[in-house]
Amino acid sequence: MSDQGSDIELRALLGMRGRAGGVFLAGLTATITLYMLPPFHDIPSAQAAPAFAVMLGAAFVLVLIPGDPLPWPATVFVLVSGLLAVVATRLNFYEDSQRQPWAVFAFSYVLGVLVLRGRIGAAWAGAAAVTATVVAADLVPGIEFGSLVVLLIALSTLPGATVCVLIMRPTQRSLRLLHEDAAMRAAAEATMDAEHAERVRQLGRLDEIARPILERIARGGELDARERVECRLLEAELRDGLRAPRLVTDQLNSAARGARSRGVEVLLLDDGGFASVPGTVRRQVVALAVRELDAANAGSVTVRVLPSGRRNIATVLASAPGVDRRTEIATSGQVLVST
């Protein structure tokens, strides 16, 4: 689940995460402890201690396991733990023992929190199972029938928690829509900021490399052969910046300019693959491209960064009279040269 989704989980809205979650867990364990201590006076410790332990384990799972609704394995653990605790403290046949519903009271709080974790149906199924267990225990021959009033009081936490969750669900949906809208707005603003930054960078680069020749043209003077060649090289360099913005560097620009001045046709293309590889691979691609450009005296050199998801990240194709050389750079940095 994303961070945005986790921020609007009901357990987050109710303070069941982070430092507040620790306070909530402390309160829940304290409540369970208060209800689970009396059975130590009524039944042997060997029977009461495991019941106390599994009930505390259910509380820790409820608060600490992330994700709403609570994952099913954790939900099953909570239900089974509570039922075992109730059985362990309820089904006792020791002489002069008293069967008090303390574990049922403790389990009712566990079921209430289970409702808050998004498992309403499972919590009510657990309540039904507890009710059936207690009724069956009271019907055992030789043991007097217990009143269901105490059981209903013990489980009264569950309806209250259910109503609370049902009331808060529309609020959750509203918050989720607000989060999604805010995320879309943030993404749009980030895109606009990135586009603006790129425009500023391109304008700055244009001002740096093209202003002198543009001012020369604006003055109305006729350009000589050297200046016309300079214009052609500048136009190609500006085109490189548009076609391959993450590929061009000062070193690559210099090598491409030198190759073009020697009559080599240079084509640089960037299809976005650099976004998915480390910077070391990008530098390796640039270094190989510079080496091919420096070595070329005729023909053409094409450097292409491939789209993300390909086995290779880039290719460098050098074509010269009598020989063609293709260099492939894998996403791992491995280089394969074929002629």
What does the H/E/C string look like for the chain?
Answer: CCHHHHHCCHHHHCCCCHHHHHHHHHHHHHHHHHHHCCHHHHCCHHHHHHHHHHHHHHHHHHHHCCCCCCCHHHHHHHHHHHHHHHHHHHCCCCCCCCCCCHHHHHHHHHHHHHHHCCCHHHHHHHHHHHHHHHHHHHCCCCCCCCCHHHHHHHCCHHHHHHHHHHHHHHHHHHHHHHHHHHHHHHHHHHHHHHHHHHHHHHHHHHHHHHHHHHHHHHCCCCCCHHHHHHHHHHHHHHHHHHHCCCCCCHHHHHHHHHHHHCCCEEEEEECCHHHHCCHHHHHHHHHHHHHHHHHCCCCEEEEEECCCCCCEEEEEEEEECCEEEEEEEECCCCEEEEC
Which pLDDT band holds residue 12 (cuts at 50, 70, 90)? Answer: low
- The answer on 259 and 111 residing in a single domain is no
pLDDT of res. 77? 96
pLDDT of res. 9? 63
**Domain count for the chain:** 2
Q: 229 pLDDT exceeds 70?
A: yes
For residue 121, give its domain range: 3-181
- The answer on 34 and 170 residing in a single domain is yes
Residue 219 lies in a domain: no
Q: 223 pLDDT exceeds 80?
A: no
The residue-averaged pLDDT of 163-178 equals 81
Residue 256 lies in a domain: yes
Residue 204 lies in a domain: no
Residue 301 lies in a domain: yes
- The answer on 94 and 173 residing in a single domain is yes
Q: 107 pLDDT exceeds 80?
A: yes
- The answer on 261 and 161 residing in a single domain is no
Looking at the whole model, is its pTM more than 0.85? no
Residue 224 lies in a domain: no
Q: Give the domain-ending residue among 166, 181, 196.
A: 181
Q: 210 pLDDT exceeds 80?
A: no
Q: Give the domain-ending residue among 153, 181, 209.
A: 181
The residue-averaged pLDDT of 318-330 equals 91
Which pLDDT band holds residue 83 (cuts at 50, 70, 90)? Answer: very high
- The answer on 141 and 40 residing in a single domain is yes
- The answer on 138 and 57 residing in a single domain is yes
Residue 120 lies in a domain: yes
Q: 95 pLDDT exceeds 60?
A: no
The residue-averaged pLDDT of 269-276 equals 89
Q: Give the domain-ending residue among 151, 181, 211.
A: 181
pLDDT of res. 260? 92
- The answer on 152 and 259 residing in a single domain is no
- The answer on 113 and 35 residing in a single domain is yes
Residue 234 lies in a domain: no
- The answer on 141 and 255 residing in a single domain is no
The residue-averaged pLDDT of 206-235 equals 78
- The answer on 294 and 155 residing in a single domain is no
Q: 94 pLDDT exceeds 70?
A: no
- The answer on 165 and 61 residing in a single domain is yes
pLDDT of res. 224? 77
pLDDT of res. 119? 93
Residue 271 lies in a domain: yes
- The mean of the pLDDT values for the chain is 84
Which pLDDT band holds residue 5 (cuts at 50, 70, 90)? Answer: very low
